[in-house]
Amino acid sequence: MSQRASPLLKLIFGVCQIFGVISLLAQNDSTKLILAQSGDLPIVLSAPHGGGLAIEGVPVRRGQEVSRFVTKKDMWTDQLTLKLADALEKKTGKRPYVVVAKFHRKFIDANRSADLAYESPEAKSTYDAYHEALASARREVLRRWGSGILFDIHGQAVNSKVIYRGTQNGETTAHLVKKIGREALAGESSVFGQIARQGIEVIPALGLKNKETRFTGGYVVRTYGSESMNAIQLELGRDLRSPKNNSETAKKLANATVAFSKEYLPQKELSKEGRARK
């Protein structure tokens, strides 16, 4: 859109984007299968594997010729993501963008490309709606702040008390690393450095040379972590996301995110001229 466009036209354009997402979610009754919330922070939270709902008319995936095929859901990651959003809102007075799958992973794996994510044509509209919600949130963040970050929330069963980092070894945070340096990804003031300060073990350990080897980041972070948008996959152990502990984990993640945001994320929205508002 031209910088000379009137405020009214920009408002109309923004409303059309919102209604476009609503319309897409309405297909196949996807509003019941996807939770999409707008926000007022340059932060997007995604949880593609925590849902438990069936999709009417869609059979369970069989996964023929699909590598690393998984149908189990990441238990309690949907709850944790919403609690993290609540904790961020409590600390900042503003809410992040949130996109959470309510559908079960055995029907659609939203952290895969479309050709690998589902097998039934009836699943397409739900898959598309999830990713359009993420794409819309990403567009809004870049339009309003110029840059931002997406956290993709997952669960892992390797170590119950650890959070693994997944960024394709910095590729999905290329904007942040190029602008600030690798310390913004793996240093003391990085989001994982801030998480470690909250008493949670992180892998890889802090250090500019330490590489991601096990959970390196999937389709969501590879797709939306580009240009000025950074994306990090968080793989949380079972103890951290359990019902007993997920409220405390959410608070610690919120503390870490706020500290990281103050250091590295835009604090003001862009004006019409592309300058930070005073």
For residue range 78-115, list pLDDT tens digits in order: 999 999 999 999 999 999 999 999 999 999 999 999 99
Phi, psi of 156 (to 5 degrees): -130, 155
- Across 204-216, average pLDDT: 94
DSSP lists the bridge partners of residue 46 as 99, 152
Residue 157 CB burial class (10 angstroms; 0-12, 13-18, ≥19):
exposed
Q: What local confidence, expressed as pLDDT, does residue 67 receive?
A: 86
Q: What local confidence, expressed as pLDDT, does residue 28 receive?
A: 44
In single-letter form, the type of residue at position 182 comes to R
What does the mean pLDDT of the chain come to?
A: 90
Q: Cis peptide leading into 243, omega within 30 of 0?
A: no
pLDDT at 29 over 70: no
b vs e for 11-36, b when ≥16 Cβ sit within 10 Å of the residue's Cβ?
Answer: eeeeeeeeeebeebbeebebeebbbb
Instruction: Tokens for 62, please give them.
Output: 């069989």
Confidence class for position 12, pLDDT limits 50, 70, 90: very low
pLDDT at 61 over 60: yes
pLDDT at 23 over 90: no
Q: What local confidence, expressed as pLDDT, does residue 139 receive?
A: 97
- Please write the tens of the pLDDT for every residue from 169-197: 999 999 999 999 999 999 999 999 999 99
CA distance 139 to 14: 10
Q: What local confidence, expressed as pLDDT, does residue 271 receive?
A: 80
Q: What local confidence, expressed as pLDDT, does residue 226 receive?
A: 87
CA distance 157 to 151: 19
pLDDT at 2 over 70: no
- Across 268-275, average pLDDT: 74
pLDDT at 243 over 60: yes
The pTM is what?
Answer: 0.88
- Across 132-151, average pLDDT: 97
Confidence class for position 11, pLDDT limits 50, 70, 90: very low
Q: Where are the alpha helices (DSSP H) in 27-154?
A: 77-92, 114-117, 124-145
